[in-house]
Amino acid sequence: MVPSTQYRSTNIIIQTILEGILRAFKDKSNPRNGIIKSHLIKYSELKTSIAEKYFNRMEKAGYISSHQEPWGERVKIIYEITQKGRERYEWFVKINTELGG
């Protein structure tokens, strides 16, 4: 039996990551349809190793997708939100807002 606190801490991280990707759309200086990995780690306030674990799991679950973009001699990893990820985040916001007040 998984303690409910674990469900919650996992969900907080997942929703924050999804929000980070969605919020990148608001940034007018962001030319791409996603967010750079390092920016997403910073937004989620996670250790790199933990963030990577979550990114991998979220990709496997079909919440996010990633691709690489060349950046000089190096490459940047860009994360995008999928339809499923967007739906899960909207669902989460709906639960939080529908009974408010």
State which of residues 16, 65, 66, 82 lies at the interface with another protein (CB under 8 A).
16
Tell me, what DSSP letter sits at residue 54? H
Closest CA to 34 of 73, 74, 86: 86
**Inter-CA distances, 33 with 5, 30, 55, 61, 71, Å:** 33, 8, 17, 20, 16
Q: Which is nearer to another protein, 36 or 72 (CB)?
A: 36
65 touches another protein (CB under 8 A): no
**In the stretch 34-63, what mask flags binding to another protein with x, by CB under 8 A?**
---------x-------------xx--x--
Shortest approach of another protein to residue 72 CB, angstroms? 24
